[in-house]
Amino acid sequence: MNQISATDDTVLLDLMRKGDQQAFAILYNRYKGVLFTHAYRKLRDWEEVKDIVQEIFSGLWAKRETLEITDNLNAYLFKAVRYKIINLIARKNTASIYVDSFQSFLTTYADNTDHLVREKMLCSIIDAEINNLPPKMRHVFELSRKENLSHKEIAEQLNITEQSVRSHVKNALHILRLKLGMFLFVALLLNK
Residues of the chain with pLDDT > 70: what percent? Answer: 78
* Count helices and strands in the chain by DSSP H and E runs: 8, 0
Domain chopping of the chain, boundaries: 2-98, 132-191
User: Which residue, 31, 7, 34, 36, is CA-closest to 20?
Assistant: 7
Q: CA angle, corner 140, sides to 138 and 145, nearest 5?
A: 90
Whole-angstrom Cα distance, residue 97 to residue 54? 28
- pLDDT band at residue 78, thresholds of 50, 70 and 90? very high
> What pLDDT score does 110 carry?
59
C-beta of residue 24 within 8 angstroms of C-beta of residue 64: yes
CATH number of 2-98: 1.10.1740.10
Position 61 pLDDT exceeds 80? yes
Candidates 3.30.70, 3.90.79, 3.40.50, 1.10.10; CATH matching 132-191: 1.10.10
